[in-house]
Protein backbone atom coordinates (compact mmCIF):
# COMPACT_ATOMS: atom_id res chain seq x y z
CA UNK A 1 0.00 0.00 0.00
CA UNK A 2 1.40 3.37 -1.01
CA UNK A 3 2.14 5.74 1.83
CA UNK A 4 0.48 9.12 1.61
CA UNK A 5 3.58 11.12 0.87
CA UNK A 6 3.35 14.73 1.89
CA UNK A 7 6.60 16.10 0.52
CA UNK A 8 6.91 16.94 -3.14
CA UNK A 9 10.30 18.47 -3.83
CA UNK A 10 13.56 19.11 -2.07
CA UNK A 11 15.87 21.85 -3.36
CA UNK A 12 19.24 23.20 -2.29
CA UNK A 13 20.11 26.73 -3.44
CA UNK A 14 23.73 27.78 -2.99
CA UNK A 15 24.88 31.13 -1.68
CA UNK A 16 25.00 32.74 -5.13
CA UNK A 17 21.51 31.66 -6.11
CA UNK A 18 22.44 28.68 -8.23
CA UNK A 19 20.72 25.33 -7.98
CA UNK A 20 22.87 22.86 -6.13
CA UNK A 21 20.57 19.91 -5.72
CA UNK A 22 17.03 18.95 -6.67
CA UNK A 23 15.00 15.89 -5.82
CA UNK A 24 11.47 15.07 -6.86
CA UNK A 25 10.02 13.07 -4.01
CA UNK A 26 6.42 12.43 -4.89
CA UNK A 27 5.85 10.47 -8.07
CA UNK A 28 3.64 11.88 -10.78
CA UNK A 29 0.18 10.42 -10.63
CA UNK A 30 -0.79 11.03 -14.24
CA UNK A 31 1.16 9.45 -17.06
CA UNK A 32 0.69 12.33 -19.45
CA UNK A 33 1.60 15.07 -17.03
CA UNK A 34 4.69 17.04 -17.98
CA UNK A 35 7.43 16.45 -15.50
CA UNK A 36 9.03 19.54 -14.08
CA UNK A 37 12.28 20.25 -15.91
CA UNK A 38 15.66 21.04 -14.43
CA UNK A 39 15.62 24.37 -16.22
CA UNK A 40 12.41 25.34 -14.50
CA UNK A 41 13.91 24.50 -11.15
CA UNK A 42 17.09 26.41 -12.01
CA UNK A 43 15.03 29.45 -12.80
CA UNK A 44 12.95 29.00 -9.67
CA UNK A 45 16.11 28.89 -7.54
CA UNK A 46 17.44 32.18 -8.79
CA UNK A 47 14.05 33.85 -8.46
CA UNK A 48 13.74 32.54 -4.92
CA UNK A 49 17.19 33.87 -4.14
CA UNK A 50 16.15 37.31 -5.35
CA UNK A 51 12.92 37.31 -3.34
CA UNK A 52 14.85 36.26 -0.27
CA UNK A 53 16.87 39.45 -0.57
CA UNK A 54 13.66 41.44 -0.98
CA UNK A 55 12.42 40.58 2.49
CA UNK A 56 15.65 41.91 3.91
CA UNK A 57 15.15 45.32 2.37
CA UNK A 58 11.49 46.01 3.10
CA UNK A 59 11.74 45.61 6.86
CA UNK A 60 8.89 47.53 8.49
CA UNK A 61 9.90 50.60 10.51
CA UNK A 62 8.59 49.26 13.80
CA UNK A 63 10.69 46.12 13.54
CA UNK A 64 13.69 48.02 12.30
CA UNK A 65 13.65 50.20 15.38
CA UNK A 66 13.79 47.16 17.68
CA UNK A 67 16.66 45.69 15.74
CA UNK A 68 18.54 48.98 15.87
CA UNK A 69 19.24 48.54 19.56
CA UNK A 70 21.00 45.28 18.96
CA UNK A 71 24.50 44.86 17.68
CA UNK A 72 24.15 45.85 14.06
CA UNK A 73 26.28 42.97 12.88
CA UNK A 74 24.00 40.40 14.52
CA UNK A 75 20.60 41.58 13.37
CA UNK A 76 18.01 38.96 12.61
CA UNK A 77 18.35 37.79 9.07
CA UNK A 78 14.83 38.31 7.76
CA UNK A 79 15.08 35.63 5.13
CA UNK A 80 11.96 33.81 4.04
CA UNK A 81 10.80 31.05 6.37
CA UNK A 82 7.64 29.85 4.71
CA UNK A 83 5.76 30.49 1.49
CA UNK A 84 2.15 29.38 1.33
CA UNK A 85 -0.01 28.98 -1.75
CA UNK A 86 -3.50 27.64 -2.04
CA UNK A 87 -2.40 24.04 -2.48
CA UNK A 88 1.10 23.71 -1.18
CA UNK A 89 3.78 25.30 0.97
CA UNK A 90 7.50 25.93 0.72
CA UNK A 91 9.49 25.65 3.96
CA UNK A 92 12.94 27.21 3.92
CA UNK A 93 15.98 26.83 6.08
CA UNK A 94 18.74 29.36 5.54
CA UNK A 95 22.13 28.57 7.04
CA UNK A 96 24.55 31.17 8.34
CA UNK A 97 26.74 30.43 5.34
CA UNK A 98 24.02 31.49 2.90
CA UNK A 99 22.75 28.09 1.83
CA UNK A 100 19.04 27.63 1.44
CA UNK A 101 17.23 24.33 1.82
CA UNK A 102 13.68 24.17 0.54
CA UNK A 103 11.05 21.54 1.15
CA UNK A 104 7.91 21.84 -0.94
CA UNK A 105 5.14 19.93 0.74
CA UNK A 106 1.41 19.44 0.91
CA UNK A 107 -0.52 22.02 2.83
CA UNK A 108 -2.73 20.43 5.40
CA UNK A 109 -4.58 22.09 8.24
CA UNK A 110 -1.63 22.09 10.60
CA UNK A 111 0.71 24.31 8.61
CA UNK A 112 2.81 25.54 11.55
CA UNK A 113 3.36 22.00 12.80
CA UNK A 114 4.28 20.68 9.37
CA UNK A 115 6.58 23.64 8.84
CA UNK A 116 8.35 22.98 12.17
CA UNK A 117 8.67 19.35 11.15
CA UNK A 118 10.14 20.32 7.79
CA UNK A 119 12.67 22.59 9.46
CA UNK A 120 13.77 19.80 11.79
CA UNK A 121 14.21 17.44 8.86
CA UNK A 122 16.20 20.06 6.99
CA UNK A 123 18.53 20.49 9.93
CA UNK A 124 19.28 16.80 9.70
CA UNK A 125 19.78 17.08 5.96
CA UNK A 126 22.20 19.96 6.56
CA UNK A 127 24.40 17.54 8.50
CA UNK A 128 24.32 15.15 5.56
CA UNK A 129 24.96 18.00 3.17
CA UNK A 130 28.29 18.73 4.79
CA UNK A 131 29.28 15.11 4.18
CA UNK A 132 28.50 15.22 0.49
CA UNK A 133 29.56 18.74 -0.40
CA UNK A 134 31.99 20.25 2.08
CA UNK A 135 34.20 17.27 2.70
CA UNK A 136 35.05 16.51 -0.91
CA UNK A 137 37.94 18.79 -1.93
CA UNK A 138 36.97 18.38 -5.56
CA UNK A 139 33.41 19.46 -4.97
CA UNK A 140 32.91 23.16 -5.56
CA UNK A 141 29.87 25.31 -4.87
CA UNK A 142 28.73 25.78 -8.43
CA UNK A 143 29.21 22.23 -9.61
CA UNK A 144 26.46 19.63 -9.32
CA UNK A 145 27.20 16.39 -7.54
CA UNK A 146 28.76 13.49 -9.38
CA UNK A 147 26.47 10.60 -10.30
CA UNK A 148 27.35 8.26 -7.46
CA UNK A 149 27.15 10.89 -4.74
CA UNK A 150 24.02 12.30 -6.24
CA UNK A 151 22.24 8.97 -6.04
CA UNK A 152 23.39 8.43 -2.47
CA UNK A 153 22.42 11.87 -1.27
CA UNK A 154 19.09 11.43 -3.03
CA UNK A 155 18.51 8.17 -1.17
CA UNK A 156 19.37 9.76 2.16
CA UNK A 157 17.10 12.72 1.50
CA UNK A 158 14.22 10.49 0.47
CA UNK A 159 14.61 8.42 3.58
CA UNK A 160 14.32 11.51 5.74
CA UNK A 161 11.52 13.24 3.84
CA UNK A 162 9.48 10.34 2.47
CA UNK A 163 7.71 9.54 5.64
CA UNK B 1 19.46 31.13 26.69
CA UNK B 2 21.43 28.27 25.25
CA UNK B 3 22.57 29.02 21.74
CA UNK B 4 24.92 26.09 21.53
CA UNK B 5 24.39 22.46 22.63
CA UNK B 6 26.74 21.40 25.36
CA UNK B 7 30.08 20.24 24.08
CA UNK B 8 29.71 16.70 25.40
CA UNK B 9 26.59 16.05 23.35
CA UNK B 10 28.20 17.32 20.19
CA UNK B 11 31.54 15.60 20.64
CA UNK B 12 29.85 12.26 21.12
CA UNK B 13 28.36 12.52 17.65
CA UNK B 14 31.76 12.84 16.04
CA UNK B 15 33.64 9.77 14.94
CA UNK B 16 37.00 9.82 16.60
CA UNK B 17 40.29 9.20 14.90
CA UNK B 18 43.61 8.35 16.48
CA UNK B 19 45.22 11.67 17.41
CA UNK B 20 48.65 10.29 16.56
CA UNK B 21 47.49 9.93 12.98
CA UNK B 22 46.52 13.60 13.00
CA UNK B 23 49.88 14.59 14.47
CA UNK B 24 51.79 12.48 11.95
CA UNK B 25 49.74 13.63 8.97
CA UNK B 26 50.09 17.26 9.93
CA UNK B 27 53.80 16.81 10.49
CA UNK B 28 54.16 15.26 7.05
CA UNK B 29 52.34 18.19 5.47
CA UNK B 30 54.53 20.73 7.23
CA UNK B 31 57.72 18.91 6.27
CA UNK B 32 56.73 18.77 2.64
CA UNK B 33 55.74 22.43 2.56
CA UNK B 34 59.08 23.39 4.05
CA UNK B 35 60.87 21.35 1.39
CA UNK B 36 58.83 23.02 -1.34
CA UNK B 37 59.25 26.55 0.02
CA UNK B 38 62.24 28.84 -0.37
CA UNK B 39 61.76 30.76 2.85
CA UNK B 40 60.10 30.27 6.22
CA UNK B 41 57.76 33.14 5.37
CA UNK B 42 56.60 31.32 2.27
CA UNK B 43 56.05 28.14 4.27
CA UNK B 44 53.96 30.05 6.80
CA UNK B 45 51.89 31.46 3.94
CA UNK B 46 51.32 28.05 2.41
CA UNK B 47 50.15 26.62 5.70
CA UNK B 48 47.81 29.55 6.18
CA UNK B 49 46.39 29.15 2.68
CA UNK B 50 45.72 25.46 3.21
CA UNK B 51 44.03 26.33 6.47
CA UNK B 52 41.91 28.92 4.72
CA UNK B 53 40.53 26.34 2.31
CA UNK B 54 39.80 23.96 5.16
CA UNK B 55 38.09 26.71 7.14
CA UNK B 56 35.73 27.55 4.29
CA UNK B 57 34.49 23.99 4.24
CA UNK B 58 34.65 23.04 7.85
CA UNK B 59 32.34 25.80 8.99
CA UNK B 60 29.24 24.09 7.60
CA UNK B 61 30.26 20.96 9.47
CA UNK B 62 30.53 22.90 12.70
CA UNK B 63 27.32 24.88 12.26
CA UNK B 64 25.29 21.81 11.35
CA UNK B 65 26.61 19.52 14.08
CA UNK B 66 26.56 22.11 16.85
CA UNK B 67 23.13 23.32 15.64
CA UNK B 68 24.02 26.99 15.74
CA UNK B 69 21.10 29.11 14.67
CA UNK B 70 22.47 32.55 15.28
CA UNK B 71 25.32 34.00 17.30
CA UNK B 72 24.23 36.62 19.81
CA UNK B 73 27.24 38.88 19.52
CA UNK B 74 30.94 38.94 18.77
CA UNK B 75 31.86 37.33 22.07
CA UNK B 76 29.57 34.46 21.20
CA UNK B 77 31.43 34.06 17.90
CA UNK B 78 34.75 33.99 19.74
CA UNK B 79 33.50 31.38 22.18
CA UNK B 80 32.15 29.22 19.38
CA UNK B 81 35.59 29.27 17.79
CA UNK B 82 37.70 28.84 20.89
CA UNK B 83 35.55 26.39 22.77
CA UNK B 84 33.02 24.85 20.42
CA UNK B 85 35.00 24.34 17.23
CA UNK B 86 38.34 23.63 18.88
CA UNK B 87 36.72 20.96 21.02
CA UNK B 88 34.94 19.41 18.08
CA UNK B 89 37.89 19.28 15.73
CA UNK B 90 41.02 19.20 17.85
CA UNK B 91 39.69 17.90 21.13
CA UNK B 92 41.08 20.87 23.07
CA UNK B 93 39.56 24.10 24.30
CA UNK B 94 41.16 27.51 24.22
CA UNK B 95 40.52 30.26 26.71
CA UNK B 96 38.98 33.30 25.10
CA UNK B 97 40.38 36.70 26.07
CA UNK B 98 38.44 39.62 24.64
CA UNK B 99 40.42 42.78 23.94
CA UNK B 100 38.98 46.29 23.62
CA UNK B 101 37.37 47.03 20.29
CA UNK B 102 38.99 49.71 18.16
CA UNK B 103 37.66 51.19 14.93
CA UNK B 104 35.03 48.47 14.57
CA UNK B 105 37.77 45.83 14.67
CA UNK B 106 36.96 43.17 17.23
CA UNK B 107 40.04 41.48 18.68
CA UNK B 108 40.29 38.42 20.87
CA UNK B 109 43.07 36.07 21.91
CA UNK B 110 42.82 32.30 22.12
CA UNK B 111 45.01 30.80 24.82
CA UNK B 112 45.94 27.18 24.11
CA UNK B 113 47.60 25.10 26.79
CA UNK B 114 47.68 22.05 24.60
CA UNK B 115 47.62 21.47 20.87
CA UNK B 116 47.53 17.97 19.34
CA UNK B 117 49.35 19.19 16.23
CA UNK B 118 52.36 20.06 18.39
CA UNK B 119 52.66 16.69 20.11
CA UNK B 120 56.19 15.33 20.02
CA UNK B 121 57.38 18.23 17.82
CA UNK B 122 60.51 20.28 18.41
CA UNK B 123 61.42 23.17 16.11
CA UNK B 124 65.00 23.04 14.85
CA UNK B 125 67.29 26.12 15.01
CA UNK B 126 66.89 27.19 11.40
CA UNK B 127 63.08 27.04 11.56
CA UNK B 128 62.50 29.23 14.59
CA UNK B 129 60.44 31.61 12.45
CA UNK B 130 57.99 28.89 11.42
CA UNK B 131 54.44 29.16 12.71
CA UNK B 132 53.93 25.44 12.93
CA UNK B 133 50.19 25.58 13.61
CA UNK B 134 49.49 28.23 11.01
CA UNK B 135 46.87 26.00 9.46
CA UNK B 136 44.67 26.70 12.47
CA UNK B 137 45.10 30.43 11.92
CA UNK B 138 44.10 30.01 8.27
CA UNK B 139 41.15 27.82 9.15
CA UNK B 140 39.71 30.47 11.45
CA UNK B 141 40.16 33.12 8.78
CA UNK B 142 38.54 30.86 6.16
CA UNK B 143 35.59 29.97 8.34
CA UNK B 144 34.91 33.62 9.22
CA UNK B 145 35.14 34.61 5.56
CA UNK B 146 32.12 32.50 4.66
CA UNK B 147 29.96 34.31 7.20
CA UNK B 148 31.10 37.71 6.00
CA UNK B 149 33.76 38.56 8.55
CA UNK B 150 37.19 39.58 7.37
CA UNK B 151 39.76 38.32 9.82
CA UNK B 152 43.49 38.27 10.33
CA UNK B 153 44.96 35.66 12.64
CA UNK B 154 48.46 35.53 13.99
CA UNK B 155 50.36 33.77 16.70
CA UNK B 156 51.57 36.00 19.52
CA UNK B 157 53.17 33.21 21.49
CA UNK B 158 53.95 29.63 20.59
CA UNK B 159 54.68 26.70 22.86
CA UNK B 160 57.08 25.37 20.24
CA UNK B 161 59.10 28.53 20.67
CA UNK B 162 59.57 28.09 24.40
CA UNK B 163 56.57 30.13 25.49
CA UNK B 164 54.43 28.66 28.25
CA UNK B 165 51.33 28.72 26.15
CA UNK B 166 50.24 29.34 22.58
CA UNK B 167 48.31 32.52 21.99
CA UNK B 168 46.49 33.06 18.71
CA UNK B 169 45.16 36.55 18.10
CA UNK B 170 42.14 37.06 15.88
CA UNK B 171 41.10 40.46 14.58
CA UNK B 172 37.79 40.54 12.80
CA UNK B 173 35.67 43.13 11.08
CA UNK B 174 32.33 42.81 9.37
CA UNK B 175 32.52 42.63 5.60
CA UNK B 176 30.62 45.49 4.03
CA UNK B 177 28.71 44.89 0.82
CA UNK B 178 29.08 47.37 -2.00
CA UNK B 179 25.54 48.68 -1.66
CA UNK B 180 25.74 49.31 2.08
CA UNK B 181 26.08 52.96 3.06
Cross-chain Cβ contact A73/B74 below 8 Å: yes
ipTM of the complex: 0.85
pLDDT of residue A57: 82
pTM: 0.88
- Nearest Cβ partner of A97 from B53, B73, B146? B146
Convert chain B into a string of H (helix), E (strand) and C (coil): CCCCCCHHHHHHHCCCCCHHHHHHHHHHHHHHHHHHCCCHHHHHHHHHHHHHHHHHHHHHHHHHHCCCCCCCCHHHHHHHHHHHHHHHHHCCCCEEEECCCECCEEEEEEEECCCHHHCCCCCCHHHCCCCCCHHHHHHHHHHHHHCCEEEEEEEEECHHHCCCCEEEEEEEEECCCCCCC
pLDDT by residue (tens digit) across A123-155? 999 999 998 888 888 888 888 888 899 999 999
Cross-chain Cβ contact A74/B72 below 8 Å: yes
Mutate which of A79, A96, A129, A156 to test chain B, going by most B C-beta atoms within 10 A? A96
pLDDT by residue (tens digit) across B127-172? 999 999 999 999 999 999 999 999 999 999 999 998 999 999 999 9
The CATH number that domain B2-11+18-174 falls under is: 3.30.1380.20
pLDDT of residue A31: 56
pLDDT by residue (tens digit) across A2-27? 455 788 899 999 989 999 999 888 76
Three-state DSSP class for residue A13:
strand
- Cβ partners under 8 Å of residue B70, min gap 6: A74, A76, A77, A96, B3
Rounded (10°) CA dihedral B173, A18, A135, B148: 0
pLDDT of residue B2: 40
B171 in contact with chain A, both atoms CB, cutoff 8 A: no
Cross-chain Cβ contact A133/B60 below 8 Å: yes
Residue of chain B minimizing CA distance to A140: B57
> Over chain A, what is the mean pLDDT?
84
Under 8 Å between Cβ of B120 and B132: no
Which among B52, B77, B72, B105 has a CA at the least distance from the CA of B2?
B72
Taking CA atoms, B179 is separated from A17, B113, B175, in Å, by 18, 43, 12
pLDDT by residue (tens digit) across A63-80? 777 666 567 777 777 889
- Cβ partners under 8 Å of residue B155, min gap 6: B131, B133, B134, B137, B166, B167, B168, B169
pLDDT of residue B4: 47
In chain B (181 residues long), the average pLDDT of successive 10-residue segments reads: 49 72 94 96 96 95 91 90 94 94 93 92 93 96 95 94 93 78 42
State residue B172 phi and psi, 5-degree precision.
-135, 145
Amino acid sequence: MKKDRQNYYFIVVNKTGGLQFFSQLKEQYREDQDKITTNQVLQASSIFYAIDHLTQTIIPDAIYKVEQDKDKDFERDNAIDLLITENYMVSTLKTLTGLRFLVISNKNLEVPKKHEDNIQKMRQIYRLYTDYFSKDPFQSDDQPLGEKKRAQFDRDVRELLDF
Amino acid sequence: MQIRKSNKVVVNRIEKVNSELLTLTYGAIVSQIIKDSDTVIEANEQLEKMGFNIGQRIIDEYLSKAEIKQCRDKIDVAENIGKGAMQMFLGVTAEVEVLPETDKIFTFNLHFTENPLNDFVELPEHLQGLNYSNMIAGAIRGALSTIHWIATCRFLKDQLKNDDKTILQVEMIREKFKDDE
